[in-house]
C-alpha cells in the first residue's frame, strides 16, 4: 500500500503511520532499528529497493530524506509505503522543499522508532550540511559508499581525515569475500611469511586500495596496486612467499581461479556483491569495525600515494 501526503508535517505522518498500523495489523514491535537514508532525488528508488531487500533480514522503519532543489515553496511532501511495497519494513519518503532543506534533521526526529538503534546511510556523497551532520550525531552506525561518489578516492581520503568509530563504508563491505578467501589461503601449511603482494583492479575503485591497505597492515609487507581502467572492481591478488605465489584471479564475470604451489587450480564462485547484500551485512553489526578503522587510519599510509593522516576521531 502507498499513501501520498502532500504539504504535511512529521507529526501528521506519525499519526498516519499509527492509523495504518492499526488498520492493517502491522506489528511495530518487530522493527529492530530505524534506517535513515539521506538520498538525492534520483537515488531514492534504488536506495529503497536495497533497504526493502535488507529489511527481510532486519525488519526496520526506513526514513528516506530528500532535499528537493529548484522549488522555493517551503513544504514537506511525504509518501508512506507499507505491506508489499515495503518489504519487511515500513518506508516513509520525505521530500523537503524551500527552507525545510536546511532542517531535515528536525523532520526525522518525530518519526524515529523509540528504544531502537538508528542507522544513517548516505548512498552517494558524504554528509556535508549542518542538518546532515546533526543526523550523524543521532546515529549509532553511519554507512557511506565511496564507490558511488563523484570522486571515490578523494572521498576515501575525507573519511580517513574525519573517521568516527561508528562509521563504515560499503567499499570495504564489497571486499568481504575477497578478504575471507585470502585469509583462508594463508591459514594452510606451510604457513610462510608473505614477502610482497599485488592487488589489481579498477583504477578508481576504493575497494582496491582498502584490500591493499588491509594486506599491508596485516602482513607488514610491501603491497603494489596495479590500476586497470574499466576493470571489474578487484580482479586479481597475488601473494608472494618463499614456496611460490598464491594467486586469486577474476578478470571478469562471477568465477575466480585460485592458483597455489603444488596444488591443482581451484574454481571459486566470486560474483561482484550487490548493494542489497552489502547493506544487509552492515546492518548485522552495529558495533564499531575495528579492523576497518585500522585499515583506514593506518593501513592506507603503508601504500604508495597515501600519506599518513592525523585523524580526529570525533569529527
pLDDT tens-digit profile of 79-124? Answer: 999 877 666 678 999 999 999 999 999 999 999 999 999 999 999 9
Which residue's entry shows cell 532543489?
69
- Say how far apart CA 241 and CA 248 lie, in whole Å: 14
Q: Are 237 and 248 contacting, i.e. CB atoms less than 8 angstroms apart? A: yes
Q: Are 75 and 98 contacting, i.e. CB atoms less than 8 angstroms apart? A: yes
127-148 per-position pLDDT tens digit? 999 999 999 999 999 999 999 9
Nearest CA to 86 among 18, 8, 13, 2?
A: 2
Q: In sequence order, which residues have a C-beta less than 8 Å from that of residue 261 and are 6 or more positions away?
A: 243, 244, 245, 246
pLDDT at 310: 59
Please, which pLDDT band fits residue 1 given cuts at 50, 70 and 90? confident
- Phi, psi (rounded to 5 degrees) for 56: -70, -25
Is the pLDDT confidence value at 15 over 60? yes
- Say how far apart CA 311 and CA 315 lie, in whole Å: 9
194-232 per-position pLDDT tens digit? 999 999 999 999 999 999 999 999 999 999 999 999 999
Q: What angle do CA 148, 150, 153 make, to 5 degrees?
A: 80
- Say how far apart CA 304 and CA 302 lie, in whole Å: 7
Is the pLDDT confidence value at 70 over 70? yes
Is the pLDDT confidence value at 60 over 60? yes
Q: Given its phi and psi angles, is residue 308 left (phi above 0), alpha (psi -120 to 50 degrees) or beta?
A: beta
Is the pLDDT confidence value at 250 over 90? yes
pLDDT at 313: 43
Q: What angle do CA 172, 63, 176 make, to 5 degrees?
A: 15
- Say how far apart CA 196 and CA 288 lie, in whole Å: 29
261-312 per-position pLDDT tens digit? 999 999 999 999 999 999 999 999 899 999 999 999 999 999 999 987 654 4
For 92-125, give one letter per residue: b (16+ CB within 10 A) or e: bbbbbbeebbeebbebbeebebeebebbbbbbbb
DSSP readout, 221-289?
Answer: S-EEEEEETT--SEEEEEEEETTEEEEEE--STTEEEEE-TTS--EEEE-PPPPHHHHHHHHHH--S--
Is the pLDDT confidence value at 25 over 70? no
- Say how far apart CA 234 and CA 229 lie, in whole Å: 12
Residue 214, CA distances (Å) to 34, 244, 272 in order: 31, 21, 19
pLDDT at 315: 38
Residue 159, CA distances (Å) to 38, 143, 153, 291, 299 in order: 17, 11, 10, 15, 13
Give the residue extent of every domain in the chain. Answer: 2-139, 171-307
Structural element, H or E, at residue 81: strand 75-81
Amino acid at each position: 500500500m502507498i499513501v501520498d501526503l502532500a504539504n504535511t508535517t512529521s507529526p501528521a505522518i506519525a499519526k498516519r503511520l499509527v492509523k495504518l498500523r492499526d488498520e492493517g495489523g502491522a506489528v511495530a514491535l518487530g522493527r529492530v532499528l530505524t534506517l535513515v537514508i539521506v538520498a538525492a532525488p534520483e537515488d531514492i528508488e534504488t536506495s529503497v529497493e536495497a533497504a526493502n531487500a535488507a529489511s527481510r533480514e532486519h525488519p526496520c522503519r526506513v526514513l528516506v530524506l530528500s532535499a528537493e532543489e529548484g522549488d522555493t515553496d517551503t513544504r514537506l511532501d511525504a509518501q508512506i509505503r507499507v505491506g508489499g511495497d515495503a518489504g519487511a519494513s515500513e518506508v516513509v519518503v520525505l521530500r523537503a522543499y524551500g527552507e525545510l532543506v536546511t532542517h531535515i534533521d528536525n523532520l526525522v526526529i518525530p518519526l524515529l522508532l523509540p528504544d531502537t538503534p538508528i542507522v544513517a546511510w548516505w548512498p552517494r556523497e558524504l554528509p556535508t550540511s549542518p542538518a546532515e551532520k546533526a543526523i550523524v550525531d543521532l546515529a549509532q552506525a553511519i554507512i557511506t559508499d565511496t564507490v558511488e561518489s563523484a570522486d571515490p578516492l578523494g572521498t576515501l581520503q575525507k573519511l580517513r581525515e574525519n573517521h568516527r568509530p561508528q562509521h563504515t563504508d560499503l567499499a570495504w563491505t564489497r571486499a568481504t569475500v575477497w578478504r575471507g578467501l585470502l585469509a583462508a589461503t594463508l591459514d594452510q601449511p606451510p604457513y610462510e611469511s608473505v614477502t610482497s603482494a599485488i592487488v589489481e583492479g579498477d583504477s578508481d575503485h576504493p575497494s582496491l586500495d582498502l584490500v591493499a591497505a588491509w594486506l599491508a597492515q596485516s602482513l607488514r609487507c610491501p603491497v603494489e596496486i596495479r590500476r586497470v581502467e574499466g576493470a571489474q572492481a578487484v580482479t586479481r591478488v597475488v601473494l608472494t612467499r618463499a614456496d611460490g605465489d598464491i594467486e586469486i584471479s577474476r578478470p571478469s564475470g562471477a568465477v575466480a581461479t585460485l592458483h597455489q604451489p603444488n596444488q591443482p587450480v581451484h574454481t571459486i564462485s566470486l560474483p561482484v556483491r550487490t548493494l542489497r547484500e552489502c547493506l544487509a551485512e552492515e546492518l548485522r553489526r552495529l558495533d564499531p569495525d575495528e579492523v576497518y578503522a585500522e585499515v583506514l587510519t593506518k593501513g592506507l599510509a603503508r601504500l604508495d600515494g597515501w600519506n599518513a593522516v592525523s585523524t580526529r576521531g570525533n569529527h
